[in-house]
């Protein structure tokens, strides 16, 4: 089996701009032959955030790894920043700013946008589900709904966005956590009896793994829940993965299961649901269950549409001239945010103190220099630091 048998791009191919759109290479050819390279300021802004008025920025660390070594300066919001696509005056909010000669980095526009569009989309959807789930458990079961090559990416976005557990082995390994999972239908079918399968799992799997029984393979969920609770002494929970075509009134099924378990004294057995659940389902069932298994809602989340645009050119004297295509705002900008309400304001490039109109506190700069003349000047944040940063901002949104 060859290195590229799965039709994948390697890291080297990405770094060598082999995944870019061809017109960037043709642009590069024209500019070189016409001796037309010059200093530019470009910014990355979101044109739309599907299903939300805010997003969570992700992919920044990948972009910095892509651009390091190039003779440019790069400013970004921190990985995990909550942002809106525009401020109160309708000015699009820059999330990334690059300053340098265009030919130094122009051909990397495609992979740069790919990193931030895809990862921000999945992280944003996870964060919205995290909010909807309140304090209930959220597990990422989306590995099977994504190309296997990017399952660690899905795991990363799900984890920093707020999932409590990850089912993908490699994704969890890269995150430095243990993978989380329950029991598949296959195990029960191979034993041809759910009680025998549950007991075999209890006998042979490490005691560190919580006993959560899948209860919708053969019988009614209520019956299987009772069987599992009576068969497994240390049962931690039951999972309903009922297909939508067989659910009927899913809410009533969940209520029945809870009632029957409580009626027999199994108050500590928790209820988990999975199977094609979306953000709306989490809102609907959050007060009835203890946790959710989320798959394609995260791994197939719509990307956030970011664009990269030139907003300033340096003239022969080194002075910056504001430029922009139609529909864009020209000139280098300052981005400020109120840490109390997360409101963002975009200003012309200058240092000045601005008070948040709502909170009456000084807004803080959100863009910081990450790369200077090709060298990274800040340490990479850890995954746990990014995850905590997102959680802190979500706490603000909850208020």
Average pLDDT by consecutive 10-residue portion of the chain (399 residues)? 78 97 98 96 96 96 98 98 96 98 98 99 98 98 95 98 98 97 95 98 96 95 97 97 71 96 98 95 97 97 98 92 95 96 93 90 97 97 98 95
Can you give the pTM of this predicted structure?
0.95
CA–CA dist 154, 159 (Å, integer) = 8
The residue count for the chain: 399
Q: Taking Cα atoms as reference points, which of 325, 312, 306, 303 lies closest to residue 45?
A: 306
Name residue 140's beta-bridge partners: 166, 294
pLDDT for the residue 136: 98
Ramachandran angles phi, psi of 319, nearest 5°: -85, 140
Q: Which fold has domain 11-120+303-332+365-382?
A: Aldehyde Oxidoreductase; domain 3 (3.90.1170)
Tokens for 396? 């603000």
pLDDT for the residue 247: 61
pLDDT for the residue 244: 63
Q: Which sequence spans correspond to the domains of the chain?
A: 11-120+303-332+365-382, 123-299
**Where do runs of H (alpha helix) occur along the chain?**
11-15, 22-33, 60-67, 102-105, 109-132, 151-161, 169-175, 185-191, 194-204, 221-231, 244-247, 250-263, 279-285, 296-299, 383-398
Cα–Cα distances in Å, from 288 out to 158, 258, 285?
23, 8, 5
Residue 154 DSSP one-character state: H
If residue 364 lies in a helix (H) or strand (E), which one and from where to where? Answer: strand 364-365
Q: How far is CA 50 from the centre of its chain?
A: 14
pLDDT for the residue 243: 62
Residue 360 DSSP one-character state: -
What does R_g of the chain's alpha carbons equal in angstroms? 25
Ramachandran angles phi, psi of 42, nearest 5°: -120, 155
309 with 97: CB under 8 angstroms?
A: no
Is 123-299 in CATH node 3.40.630.10?
no
Q: Taking Cα atoms as reference points, which of 7, 2, 294, 14 lies closest to residue 168?
A: 294
Domains 11-120+303-332+365-382 and 123-299 share a fold: no
Name the one residue in this structure whose structure tokens are 């020209």: 330
278 with 244: CB under 8 angstroms?
A: no
pLDDT for the residue 213: 98
Tokens for 80? 């995990």
pLDDT for the residue 1: 46
pLDDT for the residue 248: 74
pLDDT for the residue 75: 98
């Amino acid at each position: 089996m060859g290195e590229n048998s799965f039709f994948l791009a390697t890291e080297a191919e990405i770094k060598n701009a082999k995944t870019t759109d061809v017109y960037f290479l043709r642009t590069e050819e024209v500019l070189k032959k016409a001796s037309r390279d010059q200093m530019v300021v470009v910014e990355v802004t979101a044109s739309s955030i599907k299903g939300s008025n805010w997003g969570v920025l992700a992919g920044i660390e990948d972009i910095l790894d892509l651009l390091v070594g190039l003779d440019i300066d790069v400013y970004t919001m921190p990985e995990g920043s909550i942002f809106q696509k525009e401020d109160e005056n309708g000015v699009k909010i820059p999330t990334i700013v690059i300053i340098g000669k265009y030919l130094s980095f122009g051909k990397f526009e495609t992979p740069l946008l790919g990193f931030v569009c895809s990862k921000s989309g999945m992280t944003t959807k996870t964060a919205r589900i995290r909010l909807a789930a309140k304090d209930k458990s959220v597990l990422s079961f989306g590995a099977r709904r994504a190309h296997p090559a990017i399952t660690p990416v899905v795991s990363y976005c799900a984890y920093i966005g707020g999932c409590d557990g990850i089912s993908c082995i490699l994704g969890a390994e890269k995150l430095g956590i243990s993978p989380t999972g329950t029991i598949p239908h296959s195990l029960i079918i191979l034993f041809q009896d759910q009680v025998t399968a549950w007991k075999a799992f209890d006998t042979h799997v490490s005691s560190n793994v919580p006993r959560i029984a899948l209860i919708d393979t053969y019988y009614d969920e209520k019956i299987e829940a009772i069987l599992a609770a009576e068969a497994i002494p240390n049962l931690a929970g039951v999972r309903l993965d009922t297909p939508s075509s067989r659910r009927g009134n899913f809410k009533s099924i969940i209520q029945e299961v809870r009632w029957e378990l409580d009626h027999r004294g199994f108050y500590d057995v928790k209820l988990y649901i999975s199977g094609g659940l979306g953000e709306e389902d989490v809102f609907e069932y959050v007060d009835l269950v203890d946790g959710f298994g989320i798959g394609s809602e995260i791994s197939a989340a719509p990307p956030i549409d970011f664009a990269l645009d030139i907003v300033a050119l340096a003239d022969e004297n080194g002075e910056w001239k504001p430029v922009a295509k139609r529909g864009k705002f020209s000139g280098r900008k300052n981005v400020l945010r109120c840490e109390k309400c997360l409101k963002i304001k975009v200003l012309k490039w200058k240092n000045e103190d601005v008070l948040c109109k709502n909170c009456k506190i000084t807004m803080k700069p959100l863009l910081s220099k990450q790369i200077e003349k090709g060298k990274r000047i800040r340490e990479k944040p850890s995954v746990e630091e990014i995850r905590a940063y997102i959680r802190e901002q979500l706490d603000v949104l909850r208020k």
